[in-house]
């Protein structure tokens, strides 16, 4: 089985080296692809120090959607069986990869999402205002596809070959993690989630400041609705 770890990175010079080194120590059998999303810091210079890590340099900042889409295009073109999305900010734990990887390897699901909200735990959690938004996203997901994913914005996921080929052709640009859950659900993919621990960012800053939380949630809800309507219209036109 060929397994690719897609690591989107934007100004992650403070953390990307530790992320790559940890994979080399704990999971050296996994192929690593860093997609540098137009960083203006030393992210690329640090990645280039690691000979076994593949690097895609985007000429300017496309955002998380365009960045991860590049990873799926690469995975499909190089015939990978499984793709793991793993953020470059150091929040995810390599020791938790088995939890999202094994169910996909065994064919139980098409997509497994690592969620920090399925259990009460000392794992890092966002601010209270963000938690309200996360609960709204979960409820809206259940309304649209009858499946309420608890951690809609999780960037810690594993996908099988069918998902790789699907997302190489179409991938949401603006708010990809919540939108693609709707897309997967509407196209008959089997999605599940499992509790995984998460820690605070090991460097850099979040692209979504707390004060933008309400505006962000409204935009995400609209994007999820549009993803649903696009698939609905497509099914009507068949």
Q: What is the pLDDT of residues 111-133, one digit of tens each?
A: 999 999 888 665 555 556 667 88
- Hey, what CATH class is 3-236 in? alpha beta
Average pLDDT over residues 173-195: 94
Alpha-carbon Rg of the chain, whole angstroms?
17
- The model's pTM is 0.89
Q: What is the 3-state secondary structure (H, E, C) of 116-154?
A: CCCCCCCCCCCCHHHHHHHHHHHHHHHHHHCCCCCCCCC
The model's pLDDT over 208-234, given as tens digits with 9 standing for 90+, comes to 544 466 888 899 999 999 999 987 555
Q: H or E element: which one contains 111? A: strand 111-115
The pLDDT assigned to 175 comes to: 87
């Amino acid at each position: 089985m060929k397994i690719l770890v897609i690591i989107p990175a934007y100004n992650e010079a403070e953390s990307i080296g530790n992320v790559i080194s940890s994979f080399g120590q704990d999971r050296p059998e996994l192929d690593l692809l860093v997609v540098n999303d137009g960083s203006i810091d030393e992210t690329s210079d640090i990645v280039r120090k690691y000979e076994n890590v593949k690097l895609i340099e985007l000429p300017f900042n496309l955002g998380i959607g365009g960045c991860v889409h590049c990873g799926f295009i690469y995975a499909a073109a190089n015939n990978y069986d499984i793709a793991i999305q793993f953020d470059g900010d150091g929040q995810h734990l390599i020791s938790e990869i088995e939890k999202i990887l094994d169910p996909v390897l065994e064919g139980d699901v098409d997509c497994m999402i690592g969620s920090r909200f399925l259990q009460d735990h000392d794992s890092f959690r966002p601010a209270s205002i963000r938690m309200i938004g996360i609960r709204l996203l979960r409820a809206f997901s259940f309304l649209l596809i009858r499946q309420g994913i608890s951690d809609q914005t999780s960037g810690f996921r594993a996908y099988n070959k069918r998902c790789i080929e699907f997302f190489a052709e179409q991938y949401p640009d603006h708010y990809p993690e919540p939108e693609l859950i709707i897309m997967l659900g509407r196209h008959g993919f089997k999605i599940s989630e499992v509790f995984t621990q998460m820690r605070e960012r090991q460097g850099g800053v979040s692209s979504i400041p707390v004060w933008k939380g309400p505006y962000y949630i409204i935009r995400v809800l609209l994007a999820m609705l549009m993803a649903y309507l696009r698939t609905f219209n497509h099914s009507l036109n068949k």
